[in-house]
Structure 1
């Protein structure tokens, strides 16, 4: 589906103006309760679909390099902004529950005509993917969870929420935006070109830069015990090939959390990416891409002849040039 400016927008569409030079969505889909979802895709529309779902506070742009490589490897990669994020609409009723996000995923898949897709999700998007697959709400061919498992460390989650709650009055400049990101992710190199941060914010009517997510997103249900119980049941019910990827420096998913997941889903595979924090794909896009491409080529081969080793290595190497600077 291609951008259609005639699609009616909800009154609660994302606030603020898009900054010049930020990429327009390739597609729009209608999500649950009429929320319009924005996204991009790579690869042939008839190929195996790989749906990439980002974490809370992120956007589809976190997956750009991964999507390009998957598309070149013969898959149909689809990344969309979750409701209340990026170029997708803000929910008029402020509902950003996990069940509605699963419904949004179902809507995108139905409109794309995707049959037995691969689900790849990071953090929040991983929770959505795990529920969709584990509760059989999506007939997934495979599942990739990125630094997300039923057990999440409270301290790491609190760090993310604290960052997202900072600067409620916005920023006076992109320099201030860069300062905020650097304070949260000190292990990453500070971006040299601040214009690349423009996709992370909107320019409000008062001239201040504000994050690209609906602040009401933070007001949802944060019952960690109930969340863990639900995700444990979903993990125990997994029957498709699955891969768990953990950032070696993550404060959200620990090795103990990994062991508990593997006990619930013993057929799952596990890869740890060293020198990566919770935002694995952004920190080490090369290693992350290599792990995911290698896994998918084994368990859900793309349509067409298999790639030679040299071709696959060349595709993965493209990820090493990633300049992602997205948010947690």
Structure 2
């Protein structure tokens, strides 16, 4: 039986409140989960529970502008700033945690471990993200996030319909309450629970680093040079990390472990949490204990 998560907060890089959940023994080695753009820490619920059941403490973080963490008044949503916030979270944890980052969270993990604070982590797991991602897949994600960003949704049924249209391989959820953590109700309508400035082009400092391919490659190279093991977990149906992009990344960095998860798209943990959790735990058992 998994205990409910314990919520804690920390002060981010410029005074914002960053919210995180912990599952498991606070003295155990930590696995820190970083979500993708537009998601929240709740997207990792089942994966965090599976990791905690295997003896780790699992920590899930809401990035600034997402979930229950503060929004940046001046729109500082740079990847380096996300990484700075995560470093503040790490001060609450045992030394040298594992970082698991999906999409935007993966970019954050690269910069944190390879540029901002080398030597801070014991392993890095990149979930369906590589520096040279497929731009058509990235555009599809952007379009999904931008659609209804302003107008919102009339009902949770409408939200579920839109998600299924984006992820047609995933069954439409029957329990719509599971959607609530990613949304907030205002004036009778439902809205995504993240700052629109993050995606609509009005942020003073947007996450431009996601386009800096060579900078990210340099970060991965530094991580590996420091002897930190890296795992790439790809969703086999992903249009962001295509088979070709994954092969190019692995050819450039042959020391990286690789798992291709069948039946999963870009949202690997949500699509096939069982296979995802097993792959991560197997990697941690072999490389990070």
The verdict on a shared fold, with TM-score over 0.5 as the criterion, is yes
| Map of 1:155 onto structure 2 | 136
Give the deviation of 1:89 after TM superposition.
1.0
CA shift, 1:227, in A, is: 1.8
3-state SS in 2 of match to 1:51? strand
Q: What is the CA–CA distance in structure 2 between the aligned matches of 1:289 and 1:242, rounded to whole Å? A: 16
Preserved contact between residue 114 and residue 223 of structure 2 (Cα < 8 Å): yes
Distance in 2 of aligned mates of 1:114 and 1:185:
37
Structure with the greater alpha carbon radius of gyration: 1
Q: Output the CA distance in 1 between the equivalents of 2:143 and 2:5.
A: 30
**1:1-328 alignment runs, 5 A limit:** 26-110=7-91, 112-135=92-115, 137-138=117-118, 139-167=120-148, 168-204=150-186, 206-218=187-199, 219=201, 221=206, 226-239=211-224, 240-301=228-289
Give, in whole Å, the separation in 1 of the partners of 2:277 and 2:5. 24
Deviation of 1:259 (Å)? 2.2
Give the deviation of 1:299 after TM superposition. 0.9
Deviation at 1:254, TM superposition (A): 1.5
TM-score, normalization: structure 1? 0.81
What RMSD over aligned residues (CA atoms) do the two structures have, in Å? 1.8
Moved more, 193-202 or 256-265: 256-265
How big is each residue's C-alpha offset from its partner over 1:139-166, in whole Å with a ceiling of 9 and x where there is no partner? 1101100000111111000000001111
Is the 8 Å Cα contact of residues 40 and 79 (structure 1) preserved in structure 2? yes
Q: Offset at 1:298?
A: 1.1
Q: Deviations over 1:125-145 (max 9, x none)?
A: 011001111115151101100
1:311 corresponds to: none
The list of structure 1 runs, each at least 4 consecutive aligned residues, that deviate by more than 6 angstroms after superposition, is: none
TM superposition score normalised by structure 2 = 0.91
Superposed displacement of residue 226, structure 1: 4.4
How much does 1:93 deviate? 1.1
TM-superposition CA deviations, 1:173-228 (whole Å, max 9, x none)? 11111122122111111111222211121012x22211011000012546588421
- Residues matched between the structures, number: 277
> Does structure 1 conserve the Cα–Cα contact (< 8 Å) formed by 2:6 and 2:22?
no
Gaps of 5+ in 2: none
